Amino acid sequence: MPKISPDALRERLAGFPRERLAHLPTPLEPAAGLTRALGGPEIWIKRDDCTGLATGGNKTRKLEFLMGAAVEEGAHGVITFGALQSNHARQTAAAAALLGLSCDLILVTRMGPRESAWFRSGNRLLDKILGARIHPVDDERQAAQQAARLLEEARAQKQNLYVIPVGGSNAVGELGYVDCALELHEQILAGSLNVSNIFHATSSLGTQSGLVVGLAALGSEIDLAGIGVDHRLTPAEQTAEIAQHAQTIAQRLGVPTPADEQIRVDGRQLGEGYGVTTEAALEAIRLAARHQGLLLDPVYTGKAMAGLIEAIRRRELPRDQAVIFLHTGGSAGLFAYRETVEAGLGES
C-alpha cells in the first residue's frame, strides 16, 4: 500500500516555486524492437529525452524547480557548472533564455584526452547559440574562484545571481524527479504494467535521489538501478551521498526516508572514467539505434543501456516482468564524440 497517496504527494510538490519548462508527461513507450533483439524481458522506455528544452533531457525537470526558486528570489541571472559538454549547462542556458535571465556557464575543459570535436561541437555549440556566457576553467578549484568573481561583480552592479550546482542536483532540483516518480507511477498503473526494475544513468546523483524518494513515498517495490558513469566517487560513496540527499528531500516533503536497501549504484559500466566511452556503451548505442530508432549518447545513456543489457544477458532480471529504461537525453553529445562513435559502429 502507498505510504502517501499520489494526490497528497502532488499537493506537497505544488507548495514549491516552479517554472513550467518541460513537455510533461513524457511518454512511456514499449521498445519492442530492442526487446526482440535482446530476447526479453519486455523493455519500456521513459522518454525524458523528450522534455523539449533545447533537445530535451532530464535536467529540465530539475530546472523547473531551480528556476522557480531563482525567479522567486528576484534573480537577474543564474550561474552553473559542468564539464565542457555538460547537458545540464545546455538546458540551463535554454531555460535562462526562455525566462529572460542571464546565464554564466563555468565549464571544465581539462577532462583527459578528447577528440577535437569535443571542444567545439555538441553541447558546446548549443551553449553558444543559446547566448550563455561561457567561462572555461581547468578544474573545480578554478570553477569556484570564477564563481566568486562573478558573484562579486554582480553585487557591485546590484545584480542578484542564483547559483545552481553541478547537474542541478540539490534538494530543490531533485524535486523534479520526485515529480517524475509520481508521473511514472501513474503511467505504470494506467498501463497495468508489472515492472521489476528501472535503469538509468547516475552521475551528479540528483535524478536517482529524487526517484528513490518518490517511489518510496508511493510504496513502490520497483528496484531502481542507478548505473554509475562518474569516477569521482565509488559506488559505495555514491550510495551514501544519495542517502543523504534522499533524507533531505524526504524531510522537505514530509514523507518517510527511503531505506538503505532501496538505494543501489551499479559501477560495472564505468570503464576508465567519466566521459570515456566503452565498447559496451558503443554496442548499446548501436543496438538501440538499429533496433529501436533510439539515439543514446556515449557518456550517460549508452552506459546505462549497457547496464540493462548486461543484466539481461546475465539473467539478473525476471523474465516475466517488464523493465523500464529512463532515457535521460544527451544525444547532442554524439557530435562531440564523432570519431569514437563512428569507429564503434562496425560495418553498416
Alpha carbon separation from 16 to 44, 136, 209, 254 (Å, rounded) = 31, 33, 18, 13
How far apart (Å, rounded) are the C-alpha atoms in residues 53 and 331? 13
The owner of cell 532480471 is 317
How far apart (Å, rounded) are the C-alpha atoms in residues 2 and 279? 41
3-state secondary structure of 86: coil
Q: Which residues are within 8 A (CB) of 261 and not within 5 positions of it... i.e. 6 or more apart?
A: none
How far apart (Å, rounded) are the C-alpha atoms in residues 242 and 324? 21
The answer to whether 121 is a known catalytic residue is no
Let me know: does 56 contact 329? Beta carbons within 8 Å.
Answer: yes
DSSP symbol at 259? P
How far apart (Å, rounded) are the C-alpha atoms in residues 243 and 231? 18
Bridge-based pairing of strands 133-137 and 28-30 is: unpaired
The single residue of 86, 203, 204, 209 carrying the catalytic annotation is: 86
**Main-chain dihedrals φ then ψ at residue 224, nearest 5 degrees:** -100, 115
DSSP symbol at 220? -
How far apart (Å, rounded) are the C-alpha atoms in residues 274 and 270? 7
Continuous H helices in the chain: 6-13, 32-38, 59-72, 87-99, 123-129, 140-156, 175-190, 206-217, 235-253, 279-292, 301-313, 338-344
Which amino acids are annotated catalytic?
Answer: 86
